[in-house]
Amino acid sequence: MCDAIGMRRSAYSYSTFWQNLSSVNQWREPVDIIVDSIFEYSALMEQVDQFMINGSRDRQANLRTGDQLLDSCLSLRDRLDFDFCEMQISLGMPWSSSHQSAYWSQLEHTITRDLFPDAIEYSSISCAEGHLLYYATLILLYPLMDQLLVFLNRPRNNATFSLWNVPRSWMETPHPAKSTSEMPENLLNMAEHYVDLICRSAKFLVPPETKAMGAQILLAPFSQATQFFRTQEASAKHYWCQAVFMLLPRLGLGIAPFLKDMIWPKYKAATGKKLSSTSPETSSDDSSPWYTD
For 170-192, give one letter per residue: b (16+ CB within 10 A) or e.
Answer: eeeeeeebeeeeebbebbbbbbb
CA distances from 73 to 70, 92, 141, 248 (A): 5, 26, 7, 34
Residues 149, 187 contacting (CB under 8 angstroms) = yes
* pLDDT surpasses 50 at 284: no
Predicted local distance difference test score (pLDDT) of residue 101: 59
* pLDDT surpasses 90 at 235: no
Helix axes 211-231, 235-245, angle to 10 degrees: 150
Residues 194, 138 contacting (CB under 8 angstroms) = yes
Predicted local distance difference test score (pLDDT) of residue 279: 34
Predicted local distance difference test score (pLDDT) of residue 248: 79
* Ranges 17-31, 123-137, 233-247: which has the least confidence: 17-31
C-alpha span between 122 and 134 (Å, rounded): 14
Q: Which amino acid is at 30?
A: P
Per DSSP, helices labelled H in the chain are 2-7, 30-54, 59-91, 102-107, 125-151, 187-205, 211-231, 235-245, 256-260, 265-272
* DSSP code per residue over 142-194: HHHHHHHHHHTT---S-TT--B----SSTTSPP--B-SGGGS-SSHHHHHHHH
* pLDDT surpasses 90 at 214: no
Residues 260, 229 contacting (CB under 8 angstroms) = no
pLDDT, average across residues 90-109: 70
pLDDT band at 257 (very low <50, low <70, confident <90, very high): confident
pLDDT in tens, 109-146: 556 666 787 888 898 899 999 999 999 999 999 999 98
Residues 137, 38 contacting (CB under 8 angstroms) = yes
Predicted local distance difference test score (pLDDT) of residue 277: 35
pLDDT in tens, 192-205: 999 999 999 988 88
pLDDT, average across residues 66-84: 93
CA distances from 135 to 45, 191, 221 (A): 17, 8, 8
Q: What is the pTM of this model?
A: 0.82
CA distances from 203 to 109, 168, 213 (A): 14, 16, 14
